[in-house]
Structure 1
Amino acid sequence: MKKYDAIIIGSGPNGFAAAITLQQQGLSTLIVEGADTIGGGMRTKELTLPGFKHDVCSAIHPMAMASPFMRSLPLKEYGLEFTQATYAAAHPFDDGDSALLYNSLEATAQDLGVDAHTYKKWILPIIDRWESLALDTMGPLRFPRHPLDLAGFGLKALKPATWTAALFKTKKAKALWAGMAAHGIQPLSNWATSAIGLVLMAVGNRYGWPIPKGGSQSIADALAAYYLSLGGEMQTDLSVNNIAQLPEHTTLVLNMSPRQILQLQNTGLSDGYRRSLERFKQGMGVFKIDWALSDPTPFRDIRCKQAATVHLGNTFEEIANYEKHTHQGKILQKPFVLFAQPSQFDHSRAPEGKHTGWAYCHVPNGSTVDFTAEMETQIERFAPGFKDTILAKSTMNTVDIEAYNPNYVGGDINGGLMDIYQLYTRPTLSLTPYRTSNKNIYIASSSTPPGGGVHGMAGVHAARLILKDHFNIDVKL
């Protein structure tokens, strides 16, 4: 059997990022995937009716263009094409009005009225300095390359989202902020919950929230095509539970959650390291629905039809209350729903004249409660007549989501709770969290910094350590 310099378990964005980074330096690599198709969270399937293409996990990709790694790849040459909605995000209210995140700082600020100055004061420095901030924030704790830029960002990012909301005067600005910060999937009163909101707004104003033509699978397919062009190898439909199953290799990269790693046999991990992994905390899970629809969703505010993502939760107070109590394990009737209709911008997703709908809400980790009625009622609240457009649907509770992708433990799509204690010290308290107690095994998953999202940066950082530790190659970002 062939010996590889590195084997990577898992073909999600971080697995591909690690493999590509290693392969670019001339190493021999093999990606092993347990499912019968590649992609991890980047997969598209006909979940409802023939001809309706649904993104099984991620659908809208704010970080795909904002990631230094993703921007460095010639993926367009390998078939990847993005489209943009008129607005990155919309946030409708009961009165028929909406707050909007435009693909422009000036337009977003102007729409917020008296809060325009505050918005620009907080977001403009991040947009202007994103190139340096991305390198200093999308990775482990370390001395920053641009300390002043990072300090300015950190003073804002470490605040609880509730504190930041208090700086705004209008219902519009507060609610728009709540929807952004709630992507962190934790109570908005937690420290550092402002970080995700700031980043999503800034990259939305700078890059938009892009939608891959053909579905999220097209990102995986382009990554795979580029990786294979470098001489990399892949094997699907091989679920690894014992290292002995693998061909001979020098290093091993695990695009896996701590729970999966603990179940893997013959890793040679120390008892102390294993205990650290056992202490890793999971965040809330999600309940997801995909719909085949007869028509575009009839939002009261027609601008919502032209938004990549629609946040359905009404006011800041309503969203904050839902996230707080759901984190505590309670079941509420009006969920905060994240909704997208990619077929509005990519007509290949559905038969002519028809549409796809994609949505999820946060639920207690491991919950098997069916949120279908609650989510559809919440959409109907802002889009009367939505239920009449439903032709078919596919639902996934947290158990289904974990069964589909074992990295999503208890339905946790962020790879673990991203609170102040685990934002950078994940999955263990270490300045090099990609290393394990076995010098030949590394972790490159959303359970390492910078966490969830289609950006590949965890894989890049793990690969850079491998190159330095084992092959005396120093790769700069």
Structure 2
Amino acid sequence: MTDAAIVGTGPNGLAAAVTLARAGLKVSLFEKANTIGGGLRTAPLFDLDVPHDICSAVHPMAAASSFFRQFGLEARGVRLLQPDMPYAHPLPDGSAAAAWRSITRTAEHLGADGPRRTRVMAPLAARSGSVVDLLLSHQRSLPQDLRAALLLASRALAHGTTRTAFTSEPARALLTGVAAHAVGKLPSLASAAVAMLLGHAAHSTGWPLSEGGSARIAEAMAADITAHGGVFHTGHHVRDLAELGDIPLVMLDISPKEFLSIAGQRLPARYARALCRYRYGPGAAKADFLVSEPIPWSNPLVRQAGTVHLGGTHADIVRQETATAAGERVADPFVLVVDPAVTDPSRTSGGKRPVWAYAHVPNGDTRDPVDLIRRRIEEYAPGFSDTVIASRGLSAMQYETYNPNYVGGDIASGAMTLRQSLARPTVRRDPYKTPLPGVFLCSSATPPGPSVHGMCGYFAAQSALRKHHGLRTPPDLSPQEKELI
């Protein structure tokens, strides 16, 4: 007998399944695609010996979140490889800003703004666990570390407006590039919080890549689920909740839009209207390249970076992101680029290597992004086009086809505004429990929102265990001796 069904096997669906299976429930997982993982998929797109990450590539929160700290990826054989330079930001004048793991080295690189950068990031890094737990919480209780909350609030307020403590362009652009990970209008309090979360993480738990590809994380979670009796059903698209029969618990790692579709007329009208009002943010348009050599960045400093932000100056990024959030197509969108082999040499074969990149575009954008992204890279790395052996693009709309959670290409599963960050997907005391008996949402459309951290699924599973099994103490997620590698 199945005690719980999980629909969707992205990081949060897998986290929910791990938690329920560890509590002794028999779980069955249903996945539309033929492979599990959602945003944690890796495949050889052009060459059988060169793996490409299909969605996410760099995982700051997999190294930091409470779920993964307990789960113990490294002990399960998943190596999180750390670049010494988590990210860099080339500028139009040929200079570049960079963040090293070392706060001191980063400060030295930023000259007069170095001490200011240290004052912003060092206190957060010193309390990193508390800062991460606060921002990756269910947002329904007072913070346990009030000092961390005050540090975070003061910095978000200071950098969430047009005012900034930094005076030099490199320091301003470096922080604004991280804020752009919020994928929305700039500046904003929500984007400033994201900048503080990811910015300080570069100096604490890092911005790692999973050796061999993102799928290794999903595989480790799936192995634990299977070891505890879980069963996977791939290639099974659940189109109606009725298909799940009388399974008492249902965890949905899906978007509010998809929930409305599979629930039909079962949802109360008021709740359904609230889901209809849920806002989606700008889209991501993805390009994958197979290249013959490392990206020839003009500034040698950038060649060391695990992640590269292409947006130009602080003012350029603000203009790009604000226009994109308003639905405008800009000729020079913000682009994130990762050459995985810089951090993980195993990604190369015979001199060939993958390049991962995506651009921020309006929600629902249909343009093929390959040339758009290639030109943006070429601005800062002349000759890049000559290294390209093969390429593939996914428009924002094609991203939704690939994964229905990415509505209009919104890989954050909902606009990252301040209000919606606190009320995902609706204003409820328990944001995971739906009005339908035994049905819980556990996708990134619930708190704490997007990124590979597993916390949405973990919190939803805890809610289900409390309400349906009276279990108030979460199960132990740590690797058992027989599972250690």
The range that moved more, 452-461 or 112-121, is 112-121
**Which residue type is aligned with residue 475 of structure 1?**
T
Q: Distance in 2 between matches of 1:103 and 1:247?
A: 50
Q: Distance in 1 between matches of 2:231 and 2:157?
A: 41
Indicate yes or no: 2:258 matched with 1:251: no
Contact 1:269 1:437 in 2 (8 A): yes
Q: Distance in 2 between matches of 1:196 and 1:217?
A: 25
TM alignment of 1:382-461, pairs within 5 A: 382-461=380-459
* Alignment match, 2:190: 192
TM alignment of 1:186-265, pairs within 5 A: 186-265=184-263
Indicate yes or no: 2:154 matched with 1:155: yes
Superposition deviation, residue 47 in structure 1? 2.0
Please give the per-residue CA displacement for 1:39-67, whole angstroms capped at 9, x wherever unaligned. Answer: 00000112233332111100011111011
* Alignment match, 2:379: 381
Contact 1:78 1:225 in 2 (8 A): no
Q: Distance in 2 between matches of 1:200 and 1:474?
A: 31
Please give the per-residue CA displacement for 1:77-132, whole angstroms capped at 9, x wherever unaligned. Answer: 43311212221001112233211111122222222111122212221222122222
Superposition deviation, residue 476 in structure 1? 5.2
Q: Distance in 2 between matches of 1:45 and 1:143?
A: 42
Contact 1:191 1:420 in 2 (8 A): yes
Superposition deviation, residue 248 in structure 1? 3.2
TM alignment of 1:354-365, pairs within 5 A: 354-365=352-363
* Alignment match, 1:174: 172
**Among residues 315, 321, 337, which one is paired with 1:323 in the alignment?**
321
Indicate yes or no: 2:2 matched with 1:24: no
**Which residue type is aligned with residue 36 of structure 2?**
I
Q: Distance in 1 between matches of 2:271 and 2:16?
A: 22
TM-score, structure 1 normalization: 0.96
Q: Distance in 1 between matches of 2:150 and 2:143?
A: 9
Q: Distance in 1 between matches of 2:263 and 2:420?
A: 26
* Alignment match, 1:286: 284
Q: Distance in 2 between matches of 1:267 and 1:22?
A: 28
The CA RMSD measured in Å over matched residues stands at 1.6
Q: Distance in 2 between matches of 1:360 and 1:22?
A: 34
Please give the per-residue CA displacement for 1:319-341, whole angstroms capped at 9, x wherever unaligned. Answer: 11111111111111112110001
Q: Distance in 2 between matches of 1:50 and 1:234?
A: 26
The range that moved more, 275-284 or 230-239, is 230-239
Contact 2:32 2:234 in 1 (8 A): yes
Contact 1:103 1:204 in 2 (8 A): yes
> Structure 1 residues 124 and 431 mapped into 2: Cα distance closer, same or farther (>3 Å)?
farther
* Alignment match, 1:114: 112
* Alignment match, 1:337: 335
TM alignment of 1:114-133, pairs within 5 A: 114-133=112-131
Contact 2:397 2:408 in 1 (8 A): yes
Contact 2:161 2:189 in 1 (8 A): no
* Alignment match, 1:472: 470
Please give the per-residue CA displacement for 1:171-230, whole angstroms capped at 9, x wherever unaligned. Answer: 110000110000000011233220001111111110221011111111111111122122
Contact 2:14 2:457 in 1 (8 A): yes
**Which residue type is aligned with residue 202 of structure 1?**
H
Q: Distance in 2 between matches of 1:54 and 1:146?
A: 39
1:193 aligned counterpart, secondary structure: helix
Q: Distance in 1 between matches of 2:124 and 2:228?
A: 34
Contact 2:295 2:381 in 1 (8 A): yes
Q: Distance in 2 between matches of 1:132 and 1:230?
A: 31
Q: Distance in 1 between matches of 2:153 and 2:65?
A: 19
Superposition deviation, residue 154 in structure 1? 2.2
Please give the per-residue CA displacement for 1:287-333, whole angstroms capped at 9, x wherever unaligned. Answer: 11000001111011222122110011121011111111111111111
Q: Distance in 2 between matches of 1:148 and 1:264?
A: 44
Superposition deviation, residue 247 in structure 1? 4.9
**Among residues 285, 305, 308, which one is paired with 1:310 in the alignment?**
308
1:428 aligned counterpart, secondary structure: coil
* Alignment match, 2:480: none
1:249 aligned counterpart, secondary structure: coil
**Which residue type is aligned with residue 135 of structure 2?**
T
Superposition deviation, residue 71 in structure 1? 1.4
* Alignment match, 1:140: 138
Q: Distance in 2 between matches of 1:152 and 1:103?
A: 20
Please give the per-residue CA displacement for 1:350-383, whole angstroms capped at 9, x wherever unaligned. Answer: 3221111110010000011233323211111111
**Among residues 84, 96, 99, which one is paired with 2:97 in the alignment?**
99
Q: Distance in 1 between matches of 2:267 and 2:429?
A: 18
**Which residue type is aligned with residue 136 of structure 1?**
L
> Structure 1 residues 159 and 459 mapped into 2: Cα distance closer, same or farther (>3 Å)?
farther
Unaligned runs of 5+ in 2: 476-485
Please give the per-residue CA displacement for 1:408-433, whole angstroms capped at 9, x wherever unaligned. Answer: 00000001001012012110012321
Q: Distance in 2 between matches of 1:464 and 1:244?
A: 24
Indicate yes or no: 2:77 matched with 1:79: yes
Q: Distance in 1 between matches of 2:25 and 2:265?
A: 22
1:310 aligned counterpart, secondary structure: strand
Q: Distance in 1 between matches of 2:76 and 2:151?
A: 38
Contact 1:276 1:428 in 2 (8 A): yes
Contact 1:414 1:446 in 2 (8 A): yes
**Which residue type is aligned with residue 132 of structure 2?**
A
Unaligned runs of 5+ in 1: none
Q: Distance in 2 between matches of 1:278 and 1:219?
A: 33
The range that moved more, 342-351 or 87-96, is 342-351
The range that moved more, 75-84 or 363-372, is 75-84
The range that moved more, 255-264 or 149-158, is 149-158
Indicate yes or no: 2:5 matched with 1:7: yes
**Which residue type is aligned with residue 441 of structure 2?**
I
TM-score, structure 2 normalization: 0.94
Q: Distance in 1 between matches of 2:105 and 2:12?
A: 34
**Which residue type is aligned with residue 304 of structure 2?**
Q
**Which residue type is aligned with residue 339 of structure 1?**
V
Please give the per-residue CA displacement for 1:433-466, whole angstroms capped at 9, x wherever unaligned. Answer: 1111123111111111111110000111111111
**Which residue type is aligned with residue 199 of structure 2?**
M
Contact 1:47 1:53 in 2 (8 A): yes
